Amino acid sequence: MFFTHSSRNSHFDQYKRLKKIVKKFPTLWKFLTWLKDRLIDLSRLIDVLMMMILFHFWPEQTYRFSTRKILPPKKYRLSKESRPIIPYDLVKSKSSNIPIMKEISIIGRGSSFNLKNIKEMKGPIFLDSFWCPLRIDVNGNTFYVHRTAYGPGKYEEGLSEENVDEFFEDKINKHLKNKNITYVIPRKILIERFKKGGHNVLSVISYTVDENGNLRSLSKIGEETPEYLKLIDHVQCKLISLVEKIYKPPLLAPDPDFVQDGSTGSFLHDLCALSHFAEKINVYGWDYYLDKSPANMNYWQLLFNMYKIRPDLDRSMAHFETALKNFYYGYQLSKLSNFNIHSYMGQLGKHEKLIKKIERVLFN
C-alpha cells in the first residue's frame, strides 16, 4: 500500500496529538520511553548477533546488519590491492604548517599504558581524547579522571559551559603542565578550556570526496565555521585536515552513512593525522576497550571481545563495526617500520585468520 503525502501528514499529526496526550500522564510517558529504549537496545543486540554470525561464515554480507550502516556495501569497497595502509590523506591547504617531527608518542586511554610513566617520556607527546588535563596528586603521581557529560543514549547532548568547567576544576590536585604535551580533541568548548588553561591543543577534522571531486566535511564536532576556526591560532592550537581513503569515492547522494565522522574511532583517525608529521611514532593505550592482550586469546575469545555492550548501547550503536576497522588497521600499521605500537592493537600478530575476514568485510 502506498501512502499519499496528505495521508502521511495525517498520520504524523495523529502521532503528535497522541504524544501530547500521553505526556500528560508522566508515569505512563516514562514507561513508554523506557520500553522504546529497551526495544531499540534489543534490535541492536540482534543486529550484532547477526553480524557476528555473518562475519564468521560470510564476511562480505556483514554490512547488511550494521545498525547505522557504517560498513560499506560492495559498490563502495576498494580492492585489497588499491587500499592504502594509512587510510587518511593529508589536506595540506586546510592544515596548520606543522614541521616534521623526528619521533613522537601518542597515548590513548587504554589500560595497557600506565600514565605514571608519562614523566619519563621524551619528545612531543599527544594525548588523544582526554577530556580534561592530566593531574598530579599529593604524592606526585600522574592520573586522569574520566568524566562524561552524557547519560545513556545522549552522547552528543548535554555538553555545557557548566559541566565542562567541572572537568577542569580540582581544588586538591594540580594540572600537569608540560610544554611537550598536546591534547588532541575536536570539540570547540573543550578546546576553549584547554587553551584557557595554557595547554597545547590539536584538532583533527576530516572530509570525503563527492561526485564532483570536491571535499565535503564529515565532522559534526569540529567544523569549518568562523567561530571554530578562530580557535586555530596555529601556535597553541593547531589543525590537521584529512580526506578519508577507506572507501571507494565518489559518494553519491544521499551520502552513505558508513563514512560519517567517527566511524573509525577517534584514536585511529588522529593517529593517521599525526603520521603525516612524524618520522617515527610510538603508540600507547590504543586498546579499543580490550582489557588484556589479544596475544593471550584464541579466535573466539577475541571475536567476542570485539563487542562491549555498555559502550555500544550507551554511546555509539556502532561498537562492533568500529572495532573491525581498529583491529584491521592496528594489525596493518604494526607491520610498518616507523610505528612502534606498544598497546593491544599492536599485538594481533597471531590472529591473521580474523584479520583476513575483516578484510573481506571492508574490501573487494
Give the confidence band of 2 by pLDDT, cuts at 50, 70, 90: very low
Taking the model in full, what pTM does it have? 0.85
User: Cell triple for residue 64?
Assistant: 547488511
Comparing 210 with 288, the larger pLDDT belongs to 288
Compute the distance between CA of residue 333 and CA of residue 347 in angstroms, rounded to an integer: 11
pLDDT band at 308 (very low <50, low <70, confident <90, very high): very high
What percent of the chain stands above pLDDT 90? Answer: 49
Note the pLDDT tens digit of each residue in 216-274.
777 655 566 788 888 889 999 999 999 888 888 877 766 666 666 567 888 999 999 99
Q: What's the mean pLDDT in 343-363?
A: 96
Per-residue pLDDT tens for 117-163? 998 899 999 999 898 889 888 888 898 887 654 444 344 444 556 66
What is the pLDDT at residue 91? 92
Q: DSSP labels for 286-319?
A: --TT-SS-GGG--HHHHHHHT--HHHIIIIIS-H
Residue among 82, 123, 84, 87 at smallest CA distance from 106: 123
Beta bridge partners of 49: none
Which range is least confidently modeled, 60-74, 139-153, 191-205? Answer: 139-153
At 321, the amino acid letter reads E
CA nearest 286: which of 270, 304, 308, 310?
270
Q: What is the four-CA torsion angle of 333, 258, 227, 155, rounded to 10 degrees?
A: -90
Question: Among 132, 120, 123, 126, which Cα is nearest to 271's?
Answer: 126
